[in-house]
Amino acid sequence: MKKASQIEILHWAKVNHNVDTKYIHKSLSDKDFNGLCLLLQKNRHIGSVVDTKKMISEYLVEHGVQYIPKSFNGVDVDLNFFFNTHPVRDDGFIEVDLHHILLHSWCKPSRANYRTLKKHLKELGYELKTIDPSYSNRTENSAVLLKANYPLSLPKTLVLNKKPVKWYTEIHRWIYLDSPKIEIKGEDYVLKDIGERWEAYFTRRFIDLFVMSEIAYLHKHPQVRGAYENAPPVLALCELSLRDVFKPTNLKDWVDASLRTSSLETYGRDTGSDSVFLDSVYDEVCGKLSKTVVKGIPIKNFDVVGGWVSIIVITYLNDILMEYRSLL
């Protein structure tokens, strides 16, 4: 079967039956791939009597070979760190932020290193996807799909992180020390106290991830409880903790949850007055978010918030409550 005919029939299968053509091509030898294209063409001619997706799945089970990216003689990466801290998809893959691979390997999370790593993984045949993580303050972000048996090694040309290591006396201080640049109405905004409860949630999740990641306990202070080094692997765990604690949530639901964990003790007792108060605070938060710029980019869509924007909402909410108290 000619290449042009293969492209035509695969395009039909992708558009009409939403099949993953790239995965199909990677999973079959050239001979079996050609055989599948012929079957698809025949099925199309008889009006797709047989379910196309089901037919492809059965064919892959019988003829498929597991695709493994090319190996590379470089700096080996311990995949346990990532498989222990990332959710595994049904197909056995995990999605890992390239910056986290750099941090875990003690490489600078710089733009130059990021682009070098991205090019390196593409050349080896890894599947990459563009992401917009809520936990990151970087403008360029991509994730790589990894499986447990993928031989992940990094090029030796990556620049290592040689910054002197310091201590976070309390790991939740990372939120305030490493927050992205925030502006409201053209003026800088500094994150204020998000409250002991949210700090405790963050700390608890960080400790869980720290244990699961199996990184060296040298990063944990031997005497001061809750103190950790600001070593690159620890910074990656901080971002993952932010990912897990401040998950994407409907804005109004998030404002409601934040009010229930705030110092406002009367909220949650009267359904009628609570609803009116929630609507009022929600409108004010929306007004502030519409004038907010994070990492130099205005927040345009805030129907659903997560990560840093969720934290910004908490601090805005605390500001609003302070204004209400001063009026009262």
Question: Which whole number is the average pLDDT over 150-162?
Answer: 87
Considering the chain, tell me which residue range(s) the CATH 3.30.56 domain(s) occupy.
Answer: 75-154
More confident residue, 277 or 86: 86
Q: Which amino acid makes up residue 288?
A: K
Instruction: Note the pLDDT of residue 223.
Output: 84
Q: Which architecture, in CATH terms, is 75-154?
A: 2-Layer Sandwich (3.30)
**Cα-based distances in Å from 72 to 26, 69, 93, 150:** 19, 9, 20, 11
Q: Which two tokens stand for residue 144?
A: 């790589």
**Terminal CA-to-CA distance of the chain, rounded, Å?**
79
Prediction pTM value: 0.78
Could you tell me which residues are beta bridge partners of residue 188? 183
Note the pLDDT tens digit of each residue in 17-47: 888 888 788 778 888 888 999 999 998 888 8
Task: Give CA 326 to chain center in angstroms.
Answer: 39
Range from 63-77, 166-180, 194-208 carrying the lowest mean pLDDT: 63-77
Of the candidates 106, 104, 147, which has an alpha carbon nearest to the alpha carbon of residue 126?
147
Residue pair 72/124 in contact (Cβ under 8 Å)? The answer is yes
Share of the chain above pLDDT 90, in %: 46
Question: Which whole number is the average pLDDT over 201-225?
Answer: 89
Q: Which two tokens stand for residue 229?
A: 């080094």
More confident residue, 151 or 265: 151
**If DSSP codes are grouped into helix, strand and coil, which group holds residue 178?**
coil
Q: Is the pLDDT of residue 61 over 80?
A: no
**Cα-based distances in Å from 115 to 78, 110, 120:** 21, 9, 8
Instruction: Note the pLDDT of residue 253.
Output: 94
User: Which residues are CB-neighbours of 218 under 8 A, at least 6 positions away?
Assistant: 229
Q: Is the pLDDT of residue 105 over 60?
A: yes
Instruction: Note the pLDDT of residue 198.
Output: 94
Residue carrying structure tokens 């492209």: 7
What DSSP character marks residue 171? T
